[in-house]
Structure 1
Amino acid sequence: MSEKAAMVTIPEQGSGPEAEPPDPGPTVLRDCADAETHVGSVCFKHGPPRLLGVELEWLLHRPPEPRSAPDAAALAAALGPHAPPGLSPNSPAAPLPSGSTVTVEPGGQVELASPPSPDLATLLQAVTADTAALHERLAAAGLHPTPRATDPVRPPRRILQLPRYDAMEESFDRRGPYGRSAMCSTAAVQVCLDPGEPCDLGARWAALHALGPVLLAAFANSPTLHGRHTGWKSSRWVCWQSADPARTAPPPAADAGGADPTRAWARRVLDTPVLAVRRPGRWLVPRGITFAEWVRGALPEPPTTADLEYHITTLFPPVRPHGHLEVRYVDAQPGRRWALPVAVLVALMSDPATVDQVRAVCAPAAGRWTSGARHGLSDRVLARAAGSVFELALRRLPAVGAPQWVVDDLADMHEHQVLRGRCPADDPDLPGGPTS
């Protein structure tokens, strides 16, 4: 938005105390220091950790026709009143019975976003109910969730024709084919946690990044993509990391474990190239211009705070600050096992002493993101760390109110997979498994 467009004409107002000043609109940014300050204010909402959330994504298929993908009209009809406006413009976008909302990703993946919950039991109960309601609607239309985190058969095909996805595709295509696969052929479990008080933020941020390679490996669930075995346990991770590393890569070790993640994240936001400049009638997709360079005048019209907030949504690192901390490194899981990474993360981030233990047991596995994605728990360093992490989580689950079925499922995974150096990608009983 230009400076001129950001200005408003002030209408006549009443003079009484009830009169409210008009909204001045987004602020034009002309200084990188102001932009960094704004990043910190919108990305980190401090306070005691109180709320939890999760976003679940599923690739869909029709069992008799594995290569058949739903088109936009069929998916909109299946979702009915829960369809998002981007898929069905006249939809009321009604929440599911327990309050979760439904969105759709570019390739037709369906996403459920839970309401913020005060505790793990409430979260799991709401999401379990809403997942059942959502899958029942989809099943009535012949659509079923794929148990893997990447599409094992079909090539990427975008069904949503929206300016955001047009811009992402144009930008990603400059680097190669991985962006289309990431957008259209992957699914994840994304866990949302409060950042915590300023004095605890650095430790919580460091612990979530220390856990990254370990949980990436333990929950890796995407060994096949587009009809072939890729040689990676998490092909989803490879797609996103190859699409645009400036946007998706883990932070350097100093930033992942630093005491002041707010400043490090603000620098990263400003140093990342702008994916899209939203303007009426046409979105621009500039080449290689960082947001800091935009602030300094690299584009004809200066950016506003609204432009900056949108730019933040085009970064997809393993842990993304969104007011809350959005953990993005876990592959989608089969059946009800989506609850296990949620429970593990909630348990391990439940108190400062546990956070410190997490950092200690994960320290030997620091930075092993690529090995975790390629080898899963065949990497012995990651396997040892995962064994300790799962034991710690199991000990903490009663304190965070985990229901018994979650405790049992996690104990089963610990015994039959983690302690044996295996991950879901090694399961031959799932489509796309090692013997498929």
Structure 2
Amino acid sequence: MSESVSGCTAPRTAISEAEVEALVRGICFKTGPPRKLGVEVEWLVHELRTSQLPVTPERLEAAYAALRTVPLRSALTVEPGGQLELSSPPAASLMECIGTVSADLDAVRMALAKDDLGLVGIGHEPWHPPRRFLREPRYDAMETCLDRTGPAGRAMMCASASVQVCLDAGHEEPGPLGLGRRWRLAHQLGAVLVAAFANSPLAGSEPTGWLSTRQLLWMQIGAGRAGAPPPDTDPREAWARHVLDAPVMCVRRDGGPWDVPEGLTFREWTRSRVPRPPTREDLDYHVTTLFPPVRPRGHLELRMIDAQPGEDGWIVPLAVTTALFDDPEAAETAYRVVKPLAERALPLPAPHNPLWLDAARNGLGDPELHEVAVACFAAALEALPRLGATTEVTDAVRAYRDRYVIPGRCPADDLLDRLRGTDRRTHGKDIRT
């Protein structure tokens, strides 16, 4: 589901501030009836039998070299800390997306098992400190840039994993599937998704005090890099302004280390043309260095969900989110029930406002988020058969609702119970299960 800002091979000619705004407004939101969806699933890679043991870079490199020979429909990439990501091709239905990614994950697990390695679905590495695996100019520059705001950047790069749901931007006209409403829904419902699927309460084998430590890290790297524009304005105008006013992470060079300017926005770069004039390629690249919770890339990329436990845990947030956005009745219900949350989000945009902070810290222990999550899961369960979901998928969503949402829990609570030895159902089991 990914696409460059330009949508084509960009010429190496300088662009002006006005051209940047026109490109962003014209390309980042492609509207029409919602027909396609996708998912990007990230995983930590651990020892298969003793997951607390770190995996050496040499073993990871050998395992990934073998993986590159495995035929997959999804794109396989490696994150800076060695996390593995599968990005589905655009799918015409929920079940097509699930089928493709499930088959690819089976093949990946089989290949990794030959090296005694396995995939672990946790939003933040619970035991090991952040460690760079990839040594490339992009990540060298990213590390230098993010280090200016503290250690959260390295943890985000090297120790986090997520489930990212990709949905079409919606219709131009008003209504439950319209662009403006889907844009606002994504930012208000996003906090509910953070709370319902929080699964990263540990760092250095100790509780952090946050059920979604991963979301905390995104907030800590700063609003310019990981913040969102105000959701209550025109999406195209808001995003174009955000792209122009966001700090430039790096200026790429053909040879040698890349420049990492401090405090230079893309708008200022188009005006000063120093250290060189920016090009459309630079604009494409700049957008990939912005990490808001909802990122428009022709479609909407929802980035706020922690990686989930179990081999098929990623299916539940994909199914729930798809139902709440693409089924008109469920979308109308979701928009109505999340609307009261908007007051708690003031005055800051996501994810730096009080609503998102409470979601990351307390999960569904927050009474208002709990009430909204129960209503949203009910709407999703009604909608999933209309979207062609199988009984297995709806049963998985119902089981998740009964185990977590109705009692006001999330997977992070299970991890904390196991750490403390207070969960009788799972005591003694490995943290990966």
TM-score of the two chains, using structure 1 as the length reference: 0.87
Shift in Å, 1:430: 8.0
Counterpart of 1:384?
371
What letter corresponds to residue 88 of structure 2 in structure 1?
S
Q: Structure 1 residues 231-240 or 292-301, which shifts more? A: 292-301
The 5 Å alignment of 1:123-272 reads 123-199=97-173, 200-251=178-229, 255-258=230-233, 260-272=234-246
**How far apart are residue 356 of structure 1 and its match?**
2.8
- Where does the alignment leave 5 or more consecutive residues of structure 1 unmatched? 1-22, 84-92
Match of 2:411 in 1: 424
* Residue in 2 that maps onto 1:29: 15
In the TM superposition, what are the counterparts of 1:40-189 in structure 2 within 5 Å? 40-80=25-65, 82-83=67-68, 95-96=71-72, 99-189=73-163
Q: After the TM superposition, which of the residue ranges 206-215 and 56-65 deviates more from structure 2?
A: 56-65
1:365 to 314, 337, 341: 341
Aligned residues: 398
How far did 1:364 drift?
2.4
CA deviations 1:84-129 (Å, max 9, x no partner) are xxxxxxxxx7641xx1121000111000111111001111111111
CA contact (8 A) 1:148 1:431 kept: no
- Opposite residue 15 of structure 2, the aligned amino acid is L
What CA distance in whole angstroms lies between the structure 2 residues aligned with 1:35 and 1:80?
39
**Higher Rg of the two aligned structures:** 1
1:332-371 CA distances to partner (integer Å, 9 max, x unpaired)? 0011110011001111111444323211101222321110
SS of corresponding position for 1:256? coil
Structure-2 separation of matches of 1:133 and 1:181: 28
| Cα distance in 1, alignment partners of residues 116 and 70 from structure 2 | 22
Counterpart in the other structure of 1:296: 271
List per-residue Cα deviations over 1:255-284 (Å, max 9, x = no partner): 2133x2011001000000000101111311
Determine the C-alpha separation between the residues in 2 that align with 1:73 and 1:416.
40
Letter matched to residue 392 of structure 1: A
**CA positional deviation for 1:65:** 4.6
Would you say 1:334 and 2:334 are equivalent positions?
Answer: no
* 1:276 and 1:285 in contact (8 A); partners too: yes
- Deviation of the 1:226 alpha carbon: 2.2
Asked if 2 retains the 8 angstrom alpha-carbon contact of 1:425 and 1:434, the reply is no
Contact 1:52–1:118, Cα closer than 8 Å, also in 2: yes
Aligned equivalent of 1:9: none
Question: In structure 2, do the counterparts of structure 1 residues 123 and 434 end up closer, same or farther at CA, with 3 Å as the change threshold?
Answer: farther
Find the residue that maps to 2:252 and give its secondary structure. Answer: strand
Query: CA RMSD for the aligned pairs?
Result: 1.9
Paired AA for residue 227 in structure 1: S
1:322 deviates by: 1.0
Q: Which runs of 4+ in 1 moved over 6 A?
A: none
The CA distance in 2 between the partners of 1:380 and 1:250, in whole Å, is 25
| Structure 2 unmatched ranges of 5 or more | 1-8, 346-354, 423-430
Amino acid at match of 1:330: I
So what's the TM-score if we normalise by structure 2? 0.88
- Give the corresponding residue for 1:5: none
Secondary structure of 1:75 counterpart: helix
Measure the CA separation in 2 of the matches of 1:165 and 1:426.
Answer: 33
**Is residue 426–residue 433 contact of structure 1 (8 Å, CA) maintained in 2?**
no
SS in 1 for 2:123: coil
Partner of 2:389 in structure 1?
Answer: 402
Contact 2:168 2:299 in 1 (8 A): yes
Tell me whether 1:322 sits opposite 2:300 in the alignment: no
| Counterparts in 2 of 1:174 and 1:410: CA distance versus 1, 3 Å | same
Q: Identity, % of aligned pairs?
A: 47
Distance 1:24 1:375 in 2: 44
Shift of 1:144: 1.4
For 2:190 and 2:149, how far apart are their aligned partners in 1? Answer: 25
Q: For 2:30 and 2:54, how far apart are their aligned partners in 1? A: 39
